[in-house]
Structure 1
Amino acid sequence: MYQNYGLFIDGRWLGASDNETTDVLSPVTEQVLGAVPRASLADTQSALAAAGKGFEKWRSTSAFARADAMHRIADEMIRRADEAKRMISLETGKPIAQSEREWILSIDQFRWFAEEARRIYGRIIESRVPNGRFEVTREPVGIVGAFTAWNFPAALVARKAAPALAAGCSVIIRPSSQTPGVAMVMVDCMRAGNLPDGAVNLVIGPTATTYTPIMADKAVRKVSLTGSTRVGQQMIRDAADTVKKVSMELGGNAPLIVYNDADLELALNVSVPTKFANAGQVCVTPDRFFVHESLHDQFVDGFVSRTKALKLGDGLDPSVQMGPLINAGRLSEIESIVTDALKSGATLAAGGERAPEFNAGHFYKPTVLTGVTDDMKVFAEENFGPIAAITRFSEEDEVLARANASEMGLSAYAFTRSPDRAGRTVAALKAGMVGINSFALAASEAPFGGTNHSGMGREGGIEGISDYLDTKLAQIVF
C-alpha cells in the first residue's frame, strides 16, 4: 500500500539509499500493512540540502503566490479525501468517521494559513532621528523540522507544514514510523501546489538517522514537535546547541469539572464520546473527572451505561465507535495503570480488561474507575488510553485547587449553567485551553497549545504563524 510513495526528497519519491525498510503493522489485525523506506543518515542529509535550496526559492515567492499554492494543495486534499481517511483508519485503527473529520480539519489548516500568508504584516514606527523612521518586517525563519506523533497523523502534519509554508519556510517532515502513510498522502497532495523542489521533504526512520542530523544542522532554524513531555525536554536540550526556535505540544492530563448546576445530560452525552475517541489516545481528552457530590452517582450511572453501549472494532466499519490501542506496548501500559488503580482502592465500574471478543488487535474495553484519589497514578499522570477516572468534590475552591495540582497545563473543561462560575473557572484553571460546556477546542482559526510541562508555542489562529517568522527592525534616515 506504500508502493507509490517512500521518502520525499527534492521533489521526488525515493527509496532509502541503503534499501532498508520498516514494516508498518495494523493495530487491528497485528499483520503487516506494508513496508516503508527507512531513511539513512545520507538520506536525511540529502533532505537537508534540498530544504536549503528549496528555502531560497520559496522565501522569494510572493505571499499571494504562496497562498494560491496552498489553496491548490487544499483542493487536492479534498479530491483525495476517501484515500486519506482510509489510510488514517488503517494505520491508527480509529473509526472512519473520526478519520474523515481529522482530514477535514487538516484541509482547513491549509485554507486558513493560505489566507494568513497574505496577512504577514509589518509596521512603521516614528523615529526620534530627524527624517528617520523605523520599519518592522517579518521574514521566514528558515528550514523547519516538523516531528509528529501517530495519534493524529494528518492533523499534526498539517498544523506544522501549513504555517511553515505560509511563512515562506521550507520544511522537513518526520512522521511517526507507525503511521507514515498518512504523511505520504498529504505530502503527495502538496505536489499539487507546484512548490519549488525541496520546499517540502519527508524522511522516515530512527532517531539516529533522522532526528539527530536535523537537530544538529545549523541551517534548521525552527523545530516543532507533537509528542511526550520527555521527548520535548530532550528536544529543548538538543535545540540549545544551535539555538533553534522550538514549539511543542506535549502531554496533557486534563481535568473535567461537573459542577452542581451542570446540564447533566449534556455533560454525559458529549463527555463519553470525547473521552473514548481514538481509544482515549488524545492529549486533550479529559482524564480526571471531578463530579460534584450531589450529581456524582447520577453521573457515574449515566457514564457507565453510555460507555458499555460503545461498539468496539475495526475502524473501517462505519458502525464502530472505538478502535484499538496503537500497539502492544500501549495495551500493556493501560493494563498496568488499571491494575495499579484497583490495588490502590479504586472501584471498577466498567471495562478493565482486554476485549475478549477479538482474537487479534490491541483492543481494550472502555474503562470507568470510581473512588479514585488524587495520588493514584491513574489520576496523577496522563493515562493516554480509554480510562475515565472519576472522583467527588464538594466546594468550588477545592476542586479548582485539585484540578490545578498537575505539572501539565494543556486543556481543562467544566460544565456549569452559571456565566459567573464559568468566568471564575476560566480565570482560575492553569491551562492553555479551557472548554466550558464544550470540548471543541481544535480549530484552524484558534490557537492550540498548552503551558507548563504541556509545551510552548501555539498551532492555529493568527498566533500559529508567528513561530515561523523572524522580526527585523530597520532604521531608515533620508
Structure 2
Amino acid sequence: MPTRSEAIAQYPEIGQLIGGQFEVGNGRSEADVLDPTTGEALGQYPIATEEDISRSLKAAEEGFHIWRKTSAFERAKVLRKVADTMRVRKEDLARLVVLELGKPWKEALAEVEQAAGMWEWAAEEGRRAYGRIIPSREQDGRQLVLREPIGPIAAFGSWNAPLITPSRKMAGAMGAGCSIIMKASEEVPNCALAIGKIAYECGLPEGVLSILVGDAVMISERLLDSPITQGVTFTGSTRVGKLLSERAVRQMKRPIMELGGHAPVLVFDDVDVEATAKAAATAKFRNSGQVCISPTRFFVQRGVYEDFTQALAEAADRLVLGCGFEDATTMGPLIDSRRVNAISELVEDARERGLRIPAGGKAAQREGYFYEPTVIADATTDAKVSNIEPFGPIAVTSPFDSYEDAIILANRLPVALASYVHSENVHTVNRAIDDIQAGNVICNAWRVSLPETPFGGHKDSGFASEGGIEGLQAFQNVKYAYMR
C-alpha cells in the first residue's frame, strides 16, 4: 500500500478520451478535483466543449460500424484482456479510488476485482448472445430470432463506485457489440479514464469508446438529442433519472436506469443478534454508506430490538475514521461538504423529534469530509431519515411485532432497489422473497451485485438490468427473420 504522499505524486493528468485519443488542456476551461480526505485539490480537469462532444459522437458512429461487424469471439478477446490488465494494475487503480473517493485501501482493491470481473463476464457472455429457431408452419420455412446491438450508447455514471459503475456500463455495452460515450463523474474522473486507456491498450478499435468530463447537463442534452445515440444508461438519483428517461423516450431511445434506493432490512427474532449486527455494520458503513444498495432502514422484531440496536451501535463505534492509505482506517470520508451537510440535516431532524442516537451523530473534527458512523433508534415514519435516502453513514432502527407489519414497513416507500431479510426460518425467508417489492431481495447475506447476476430496481428505483445475461440483452435489439 502506498503512502498518501506517494499516491498524490503519481496522480495522472486529467483529459478527454475521444475515440481513443487522450487530450488535455488545449485552452479548455478547467475545474478542480477535490481530495475528500483533506478537501484540497488533487488536480484539474478540462471541461468538455461542444466540439469535444461532436467529435465523440462522430467517433461512436464510426466505431459502432467497426465493432458490430467484429465477431463476438474477437470482441471477447479484447474485453478479457482488459480484465486481465486491470488485475495486473490493481494497485494503480486502487490508488486512484482511494485518492478520488476516499475508500479504505482494502475496499478499493475489492472494487478493482469486482470491476475486472464485469469485463471478464461480458467477454464470455458476449459470445453467448444466442438467438433461436422457431419451428415454421411451412415445411421449407425457417423462422429465426436474432439479437443485434442497438447502436451507440450514452452512459452516465455516479461517483460512488468509480470503477464498478463505468465497467458495468462499458463492458455490458461493448460485450453486446455497441459503441459507447461515457460521461465520467467529475468527482472521480481519473478512475473511468484509467479503464478507458487500458481498453485501447488492449486492442479496442478507435471510436468504440469515448470518455468525457465536464458539464453533465450540457453533455447529456447533446448526447441524447443526437440522432447517433440509440440508448442511454444512467446510474444516479431518481429525479435525474426521470428527466433523462423522459428525454430519451421522447426520441424513442432505450433508457436503462439504475436509480436511488433506501434499503429496508428485516431482522427476525430467531437470528444470532450479535453476529447479524456486526455484519450489518460492515455492510452499512462500507464506502461510508455512500452506496445505493446500502442497508439503512433496519426493522427489527421487538423481542431482540434493543439488543440488536445496542450491538449495531457498538459495532459502529468501533469503526476507525481516517485516510484510506492508513492500515487502521475502516471508514473513509464522504465525497464532499454537501454530503456532510445533508447527513447533518437528517441527524438534526432526528434530534428535534427526540429520537435516540446511540452512536455517532456529528461531523468528525478533522480536515476533510468526515462524519461519524451514526445509528438513529426508534425512528418514526415521519422522520426525514425514514423517507430520504441518506447516502451516508446512517443506520436507522425501528421495532416491529408481526411479519405482516414488517412487510408493510419494507414496502412503504416508492423506491425498490435492494432489500435484506435475516431469519433462520426458511418459510419466513420464502414468504419475504415473494412479498417484498424490490429488484433485489438478499436473505441472510449482504452482497447484492455480482458480474453474473442482474442488477436493477423496480418502481422509482429504475427499470431494466445491468449485469448477467439481462445486462447484455439491455443493449440489444431482437430481430425476427423468416426464410424459405
Scaled by the length of structure 2, what TM-score is found?
Answer: 0.96
Matches within 5 A, 1:370-449: 370-449=377-456
Matches within 5 A, 1:325-364: 325-356=334-365, 358=366, 360-364=367-371
Deviation at 1:460, TM superposition (A): 1.0
Structure 1 vs Structure 2 CA RMSD: 1.2
- Deviation string for 1:229-287 (max 9, x for gaps)? 00001011110232111111110011111101112133112100111111111110111
- What is aligned with 1:467? 474
**Counterparts of 1:313 and 1:436 in 2: how far apart (Å)?**
31
**Cα 1:208/1:440, change in 2 over 3 Å:** closer
Secondary structure of the 1:294 match is helix
The ranges of structure 1 where at least 4 consecutive aligned residues each deviate by more than 6 angstroms after the TM superposition are none
Contiguous gaps of at least 5 residues in structure 2:
1-9
Secondary structure of the 2:218 match is coil
Contiguous gaps of at least 5 residues in structure 1:
none
Given residue 186 of structure 2, which amino acid in structure 1 is its aligned partner? S
Secondary structure of the 1:45 match is helix
**Counterparts of 1:5 and 1:119 in 2: how far apart (Å)?**
36
**Counterparts of 2:20 and 2:28 in 1: how far apart (Å)?**
19
Equivalent pair of 1:69/1:193 in contact (CA under 8 Å): yes
Deviation at 1:125, TM superposition (A): 1.2
Equivalent pair of 1:2/1:36 in contact (CA under 8 Å): no
1:24 and 2:33 aligned: yes
Equivalent pair of 1:40/1:209 in contact (CA under 8 Å): no
**Cα 1:208/1:289, change in 2 over 3 Å:** closer
Given residue 450 of structure 1, which amino acid in structure 2 is its aligned partner? G
- What is aligned with 2:70? 61
Secondary structure of the 1:225 match is strand
Equivalent pair of 1:353/1:364 in contact (CA under 8 Å): yes
Given residue 37 of structure 1, which amino acid in structure 2 is its aligned partner? P
Equivalent pair of 1:23/1:32 in contact (CA under 8 Å): yes
Scaled by the length of structure 1, what TM-score is found?
Answer: 0.97
Given residue 285 of structure 2, which amino acid in structure 1 is its aligned partner? F
- Deviation string for 1:53-80 (max 9, x for gaps)? 1010011000000011111111111121
- What is aligned with 1:256? 265
1:85 and 2:115 aligned: no
Secondary structure of the 2:143 match is strand
Equivalent pair of 1:76/1:192 in contact (CA under 8 Å): no
Equivalent pair of 2:149/2:475 in contact (CA under 8 Å): yes
Secondary structure of the 1:261 match is coil
Given residue 473 of structure 1, which amino acid in structure 2 is its aligned partner? Y
Equivalent pair of 2:67/2:205 in contact (CA under 8 Å): yes
**Counterparts of 1:105 and 1:333 in 2: how far apart (Å)?**
29
**Counterparts of 2:318 and 2:369 in 1: how far apart (Å)?**
19
1:236 and 2:245 aligned: yes
- What is aligned with 2:158? 149
Given residue 167 of structure 1, which amino acid in structure 2 is its aligned partner? A
Matches within 5 A, 1:286-301: 286-301=295-310
- What is aligned with 1:454? 461
Percentage identity across paired residues of the two chains = 36
Deviation at 1:2, TM superposition (A): 5.7
Given residue 68 of structure 1, which amino acid in structure 2 is its aligned partner? K
**Counterparts of 1:468 and 1:457 in 2: how far apart (Å)?**
10
- Deviation string for 1:294-330 (max 9, x for gaps)? 1011111211111111000111213211111111111
**Cα 1:188/1:367, change in 2 over 3 Å:** same
**Cα 1:207/1:17, change in 2 over 3 Å:** farther
- Deviation string for 1:103-147 (max 9, x for gaps)? 100000011110011101111112224522211111111001110
**Counterparts of 2:250 and 2:147 in 1: how far apart (Å)?**
25
